Amino acid sequence: MKSTFKLIRRFILILMLSLIGLVVINIVLLVGLTYRDKSNAGGWKAAGEVAEQLTGSEADGFSLTDEGRSILKERQAWAILIEDGTGNVIWNSDDLPKEVPLHYSAAEISWYTRGYIADYPTTTAARGEDLLVLGYPKDRYWKLMYPTWDYHGIVNTPKKVLVFLVVNLLCIISIYLIATSGVLRQVKPIVGGIEALPEGEAVYIREKGLLSDLATAINRVSERLRIQERELQKKEMARTNWIAGVSHDIRTPLSMVMGYAGQLEEDLSLSEENRRKAGVIRQQSIRMKNLVNDLNLASKLEYHMQSIRREMFNLVAVVRRVVVDFINADLEGKYPIEWNTSKDLEACMIEGDKELIRRAVNNLILNARIHNPKGCRIFVELKEDEQKAHIYIEDDGVGVTEEKLEEIQNKPHYLMNQGSMNKQRHGLGLLIVKQIVEVHRGSVCFGQGREGGFRVQISLEKGRG
């Protein structure tokens, strides 16, 4: 819809600019074509100039100067001087036509002054008490015989011109909108279809009218995208099912390996070396089992196949329970955990999947232990503000380089990367943390710890309940 409105605005803008440009061009053209006529100042001015160039008197004889003769020659005009009182022509130019009278009554003078003498258009000018008349070629001027206008009509001329322009403008706009409305009706579904394609919506446009070819092309693109989407969903479903199936098939034999390895580890009849090897087998089996579970969970979260059980729960209690479990499991004391949460913060309610949040916190603490085999201190802290709850998990271990941190922050995990798989970005643990936070519409930030180790901040919206 926005594109259609923009198109309409563009059409109207082009129309208005065209009208303004057309008016300007017409004014320039009018001035250019009439400039010469205006510069001549018309035949009335010429009559006055000839009257000034006529010297002498009836008694002494009249004489026209060279400049006056030049004016007559330039305009191909003839001239007569009518005496006041008698109406006789007392002087005339050399090329006076024969049909021009040499005597005039007052009525004839009045008539000829307004119009023509023997079809020759005339102009007049006073020379003393006498009247000078200039006659021009018959095709030189067209004269108004009754050049009078109503005074109020002249005063209201600007208003009339404005009304004329406004009415004409409205008529032009109306005609333009009517003419283009058909095009816009056909463009609108085309624009809507193009806008819907990136959203993955099924698009069908009626293939009729001026833009039928374009509508057909968009329908084909939409159908092809739908086919590709279905094929992609099939592939994603097949991959998810394959991972889930392999995970299920591996668990049973892996459990047997873990069980037998545990029995061998506790069998006192075996040598110390063999019992140690059995212990290594059990530990690696546990690691493999966790890896399979992570792979299965990451796959389900990626393709939105993991069921989310949303409920209101106390985040402080959940995180503290995870911390306590790790403290109790750390029999060697290599990974002491400091609970830095304020005593005043006893409850912080959020809405989400409690088990997934527990899994995210568990992964972060486990990640600190895995990447610091020689041991490290782990710091866990919860804070809250008006809108969000924040979980901080940090260690004082080996930390990460800036390059590695950039990879963790911005590069996709190899499980999601459809390109080369030669370089693994990072483990599944952090990927699952990201996915769980995204499911809860939160944010996660990885960085350098204040004690030189690795630091993670998770921010989640607080519950409204």
DSSP-assigned letters across all residues of 356-387: HHHHHHHHHHHHHHHT-TT---EEEEEEE-SS
State residue 30's pLDDT score: 83
State residue 4's pLDDT score: 64
State residue 406's pLDDT score: 83
Tell me the mean pLDDT per 10 residues along the chain, length 465.
Answer: 67 80 86 65 85 86 91 92 91 91 91 88 92 92 79 87 87 80 78 82 81 86 88 81 78 86 89 90 85 80 78 93 90 90 90 91 90 92 92 91 81 55 61 89 90 92 77
List, in sequence order, every residue forming a beta bridge with 457; answer none if it has no partner. Answer: 392, 445
- And the tokens for 346? 């006893």
State residue 22's pLDDT score: 85
State residue 288's pLDDT score: 84
Strand (E) positions, 83-218?
A: 89-92, 116-117, 120-127, 130-135
State residue 122's pLDDT score: 92
State residue 199's pLDDT score: 80
Contact of 140 with 122, CB cutoff 8 Å: no
Instruction: List the 454-461 sheet strands across, edge first.
Output: 337-339, 378-384, 388-395, 454-461, 443-448
Angle 42-53/66-75 helices, nearest 10 degrees?
Answer: 150
- And the tokens for 344? 């005043």
State residue 412's pLDDT score: 61
**Maximum CA pair distance of the chain?**
167
Give the H or E element holding residue 273: helix 272-302
Contacts of 195-203 spanning 24+ positions with Cβ under 8 A: 195/3, 197/221, 197/222, 197/225, 200/225, 200/229, 202/226
